[in-house]
Amino acid sequence: MANRKLAYTDDYKNKCFIEWYTNKRPSSPAKTREIIPMDEKGRKPNYPMLSRWMKELEWNERADEMDAKAMILVEDVLVNQKAEMLKRQAMDAFVLANAAREHLLNSGFDSSASAVNAYFKATEEERLTHGLDDFFKKVAEMSNSELEQEIIKMTRRAEDSGTLVLEAEEIEDKKENNSEKTDMTD
């Protein structure tokens, strides 16, 4: 019974893991012991016990999984930020094209060449950016197999039209296999 009273709780062990993880995963139990809090009885585990917890509770593996999940979230945020940037650029191009067209129709430019040049550049930019924000969001939400099917479909369409076909290498599907680690080969 005396050992039960001295045992550390699972909640405390988890608090120790969280401190270890948020402090950049120190490699030694000594450094880990410095950063972890005391338990409810005012104690801290000794170095061998911390070492055993790190191994038995698979702290490194758990932290690796958390890092992988964090990377997926960061990638999703970056894709959404790029989509929003492209949406803003498309809107700016649309506004510029309208302003150039209105100015051309109402006031004219310094020269007709400058008005025509501004109009065509603005409409070209609008065409280039239109729809890219939706495309990036759609691609970010696709699994590897869905993305692969879409690439195959587009490749066939490109081959039928005589368009250049690009080569691509296979990558791991992070959304379907975020906890699995696979070797990538060239």
Burial class (CB in 10 A: 0-12, 13-18, 19+), 41: exposed
For the chain, the structural domain boundaries read 2-61, 78-161
Q: What pLDDT score was predicted for residue 109?
A: 65
Residues 57-84 pLDDT 10s: 999 999 999 999 999 989 988 888 988 8
Per-residue pLDDT at 163: 57
Burial 100-123 (b: 16+ CB within 10 A, else e): beeebeeeeeeeeeebeebbeebb
Nearest alpha-carbon partner for 90 in 64, 129, 116: 129
**What are the Cα distances from residue 2, in Å, to 7, 8, 9, 11, 174?**
9, 13, 15, 20, 47
Mean pLDDT of the chain: 80
Banded pLDDT at 1 (limits 50, 70, 90) = very low
pLDDT tens, residue by residue, 100-154? 778 777 876 677 788 778 778 878 777 776 666 667 777 778 887 787 788 788 7
169, pLDDT greater than 60:
no
| Most confident stretch, 27-36, 127-136, 175-184 | 27-36
Q: With a cut of 90, say whether residue 56 has pLDDT above it.
A: yes
Res 176: pLDDT: 47
pLDDT at position 14 is 96
Is a pLDDT exceeding 90 seen at residue 178?
Answer: no
Report which listed range, 41-45, 111-115, 170-174, is most confident: 41-45
